[in-house]
Structure 1
Amino acid sequence: MSKKHFYVIGFGALILFDTFTQVCFKLASAHAGEFALTSLWLHEIVFGPWIYGAVLGYCGAFITWMTLLKHAPIGPAFAASHLEVITVLAISVMYFGEHLSLTQVFGGLCIVAGIIFLSMSETEQAH
């Protein structure tokens, strides 16, 4: 497998794991209801199915991240690891009916632009 394929698959998996984790946290919160530091609320969180999905997502993300760090340059890897912000925003709009402000859209574009610029600078340094 070429390095390019390794990075695409690795970062794709990392984004999927991180996005899955954040969506599971959202669903766990919705399942448990409004925050109240009571035994009933804690029971709903601890024994609800979504919190286990979040833990599994974190485990998958950790393993994927550690594997990527062995091979990928740290600057672009760190930046690309934050692409889940974009995917979580998109899922929040599509599936949870949330609305994006212009500031959030601009921030998402800045994240993507930063990752592109970091990747381009890393490519130029390699040559």
Structure 2
Amino acid sequence: MASTPQRLGRFYFFGFLILVAFDTVVQLAFKYAGNHAFPPEANWAWIVRVFGHPWIYLAVVGYVGNFFTWMTLLKHAPIGPAFAVTHLEVVSVMLFSIWLFNEPLTWARAIGALVIVAGIVCLALAESGAHPEGDAPTEAKGALGVAAGD
């Protein structure tokens, strides 16, 4: 069954939303784990302290979820725009850090976040222009033009 452009659009939207959610959870979990692991030391007591908090395990689970989500998306999405969208995590982590860790929102951070989002939008528009309606890529191809899963 062929995928319609609308179905692919939903697949990309929700897939990248899940990917950004995993990325965000991983970074926030590392922040919480790091807060409990200070001061860093080169000994077993520090390693036990790090792995004694559930945040590190949430980060590992997040990385596993991130990996499988990314592999699924890469089977269908062009690598350039796909990689660009992963940088939305910078914006989401910044926003959650303001809320959870009381980090300041400076003009430089706000402008940087807007530039990231603008760059992703530009890449998405360029990619949609590269594939006329109904001609969107549905499966990633390898170096020899063979489907990546073959």
TM-score, length of structure 1 as denominator length: 0.94
Whichever residue aligns with residue 64 of structure 1, its letter is: T
Gaps of at least 5 residues in structure 2 are 133-150
Whichever residue aligns with residue 63 of structure 1, its letter is: F
Alignment of 1:1-127 (within 5 A): 2-127=7-132
TM-score, length of structure 2 as denominator length: 0.80
Whichever residue aligns with residue 49 of structure 2, its letter is: E
Larger radius of gyration: 2
Aligned to 1:5, what secondary structure does the other structure show? helix
Q: Distance in 2 between matches of 1:98 and 1:109?
A: 18
Partner of 2:138: none
Q: CA shift at 1:118, angstroms?
A: 0.3
Whichever residue aligns with residue 123 of structure 2, its letter is: L
Q: Distance in 1 between matches of 2:107 and 2:45?
A: 38
Larger helix fraction of residues = 1
Aligned to 2:68, what secondary structure does the other structure show? helix
Aligned to 1:37, what secondary structure does the other structure show? coil
Q: CA shift at 1:40, angstroms?
A: 2.2
- Identity among equivalent positions (%) equals 46
Q: How many residues align?
A: 127
Gaps of at least 5 residues in structure 1 are none
Q: CA shift at 1:39, angstroms?
A: 2.7
Q: CA shift at 1:48, angstroms?
A: 1.7
Q: Distance in 2 between matches of 1:115 and 1:98?
A: 25
Q: CA shift at 1:81, angstroms?
A: 1.0
